[in-house]
Structure 1
Amino acid sequence: MKLRYTAPALADLAGLLDYMSAHSPQGAKRVQARIKAIIELTLTHPQIGLRTEDPTVRRLTTSPYPYLVFYEIGNDEIIIHAVRHAARDQFEREA
């Protein structure tokens, strides 16, 4: 298995890390490390996330931080679709 990030997922990550870095550079590093660790966990345990309303998309939390990772299990890859703040607990598929 390998990881693939969609353009919106990369934009989500960049946006949240830019915001965090402006307010707390050390906090941004901790959040980034936690999100990375959670995403890498999907490589060995792809079914770990909860199913969403879209049956092909799963959701993982990044406790203790309030972010959600939305991903899909492909044939030989995990596709990261979005990284959102938990207050935006939704995944809108690209049109």
Structure 2
Amino acid sequence: MKIRYTRAASAELAAILDYIDEHSPSGALNVKRRLQDIVAILAARPYIGRLTKRPGIRRAVATPYPYLIFYQVVGDSIVIHGFRHTARRLSED
């Protein structure tokens, strides 16, 4: 499957990594690698993420880090819609 990121998702990811990098450059690298690993898993098994209340949107947890990846399966692509720290509570779950 192809992986695509929305502009919003790319901006959220950059903001997350920039924030972590200010406090721990090695931590930012570890989080980035883990998020990339989860996205690779999604490409291989696109339906493993839990469905959210938003139609067609799934979420995957990037354990051991407290981040969620919101995505949608569209044809032969995975569209990453966003990233969120689990401490942030939004109504989209």
TM-score by length of 2: 0.94
Q: Distance in 2 between matches of 1:2 and 1:74?
A: 10
Counting matched residue pairs gives: 92
Secondary structure of 1:48 counterpart: coil
More helix by share: 1
Q: Distance in 2 between matches of 1:91 and 1:72?
A: 17
Cα offset, 1:88, TM superposition:
2.1
1:25 aligns with 25
Matched AA of 2:76: D
1:51 aligns with 51
Secondary structure of 1:65 counterpart: coil
User: In the superposition, relative to structure 1, how do residues 29 and 11 fare at CA in structure 2: closer, same or farther (>3 Å)?
Assistant: same
2:6 aligns with 6
Matched AA of 2:64: P
Cα offset, 1:54, TM superposition:
1.1
2:39 aligns with 39
**Structure 2 stretches lacking a partner, 5+ long:** none
1:61 aligns with 61
2:83 aligns with 83
**Structure 1 stretches lacking a partner, 5+ long:** none
Q: Percent identity between the aligned chains?
A: 47
TM-score by length of 1: 0.92
